[in-house]
Amino acid sequence: MSNIEKTPELALVSTPSVRHYYVDEAGDSALFNARGKVIVGTEGCSSYFMIGLLSVFEPVSLESDLKALNQSILADTSINWRGKYKKPLHGFHANDDLPEIRNAVFALLIKHKFRFFAVVKDKLEQVKYVRQKNQSNPTWRYDGDKLYDSLVSRLFHTRLYKNYEHNVCFASRGHSDRTAALRNALEGVQARAKALLNPGSTGIMSNLNSSTPSKTVNLQAVDYCLWALQRFYARKEDVYLKIIWPFVSMVQEMDSKCGKKYGAVFTKKKHPFGVLNLTEDIGSK
């Protein structure tokens, strides 16, 4: 049975048989305001909702380097803190950090070995789905948590069936403890994947935690990767996505008009010349 508990840290033992996953989200799952009006893409409400997973090969080393960089920046009296930017007193957060700090964090990240996976949901497509459901069942109600769970399941659907010990850390969502719901979702994903792809698998989910980036420092790394991906989708700005693209294993665009059930899947193999082809694909939707 999996050991599921809400604790601030995962065991950070780095061995070939252990996989360490850190999960966070970018954007939000909101579609409507209190009066039922669509607010997707308006101020304060994102056009896309995405969930990212960082598979870190040496979590102890990454955590140590992020902490050291943070302490170095806090001790640097030459930095001009300006405008909306805040001192990273509790760690790094890409949306709040100065551009020069972002550059330093990205430079640190690419010195480490990791793989980044993400699923991206076009929220206007989700609005269409909600309206279709309400036509056939007027009492049905949209639930942002269920959308989150479905995207998490898609993100992990080929991650948990191999013969590894899996440590998973989710960034906490608000004040509610959804650890049990995430456990149920991932145990279902793992069982289905094992049955289909590796019936004899001895893989286990040894830890599933929810934590905050200030307590589990490696969550700051997945925040940065998601920020780069979000900038690309929201602003068609690929500068930061190009930096991490060599470490991207999969970006699944759930609503791509490619004729496939689960949308388009972008990988390094499909896009060997950086993200230029990715830009064309998204622009052709």
Kindly state whether residue 131 falls inside one of the protein's structural domains: yes
Q: Average pLDDT, stretch 185-189?
A: 90
pLDDT in tens, 67-93: 999 999 999 999 988 888 888 999 999
Query: Which residues face 166 on adjacent strands?
Result: 19, 205
Position 281 scores a pLDDT of 45
Dump strand ranges (E) for the chain: 18-27, 48-56, 114-122, 165-171, 204-211, 248-253, 264-266
Confidence of residue 284 (pLDDT cuts 50, 70, 90): very low
Contact yes or no for 51/155 (Cβ under 8 A):
yes
Whether 181 is in a domain gets the answer no
CB atoms closer than 10 angstroms to residue 173: 16
Residue numbers of the domain that contains 45: 19-77+85-142+211-283
Tokens, residue 58: 């040496």
**What is d(CA 248, CA 55) in angstroms, rounded to the nearest whole number?**
10
Non-local CB neighbours of 247 within 8 Å, separated by 6+ positions: 109, 110, 114, 115, 116, 225
Nearest to 152 by CA among 124, 106, 128, 183: 183
155 assigned to some structural domain: no
Residue 103 near residue 30, CB atoms below 8 Å: no
C-alpha span between 249 and 275 (Å, rounded): 13
* pLDDT-derived band at 158, boundaries 50, 70, 90: confident
Bridge partners of 49, per DSSP, are 27, 121
Q: What pTM was computed for the model?
A: 0.87
Measure the CA–CA gap between 102 and 99, rounded to whole angstroms: 5
Residue 28 lies in a domain: yes
For residue 42, tell me if it sits in a domain. yes
Answer whether residue 117 is part of any domain.
yes
Please say if the pLDDT value at position 48 is more than 90. yes
**Predicted confidence (pLDDT) per residue in 227-245, tens digit:** 999 999 998 888 899 899 9
Q: Above 60 in pLDDT, residue 272?
A: no
Mean pLDDT value of segment 153-157: 92
Report d(CA 203, CA 216) in Å as an integer.
24
Higher pLDDT, 7 or 66: 66
Strand 18-27 relative to strand 264-266: parallel, antiparallel, unpaired? Answer: unpaired
Q: What is the mean pLDDT of residues 123-137?
A: 95
pLDDT band (50, 70, 90) for residue 126:
very high
Tokens found for residue 6: 């809400």
> Is there a contact between 18 and 60 (Cβ–Cβ < 8 Å)?
no
Q: How far apart are CA 87 and CA 118, in angstroms?
A: 28
Q: What does residue 48 show for φ and ψ, rounded to 5 degrees?
A: -130, 150
- Give the pLDDT confidence score for residue 1 in this predicted structure: 34
Separation CA 142–CA 126 (nearest Å): 10
Per-chain mean pLDDT for the chain: 87
Residue 21: closest CA among 209, 264, 255, 250: 209
Residue 95 lies in a domain: yes
Number of domains, the chain: 1
Structural contact between residues 180 and 5, judged by C-beta atoms closer than 8 angstroms: no
Asked if residue 65 is part of any domain, the answer here is yes
Mean pLDDT confidence for 159-165:
89
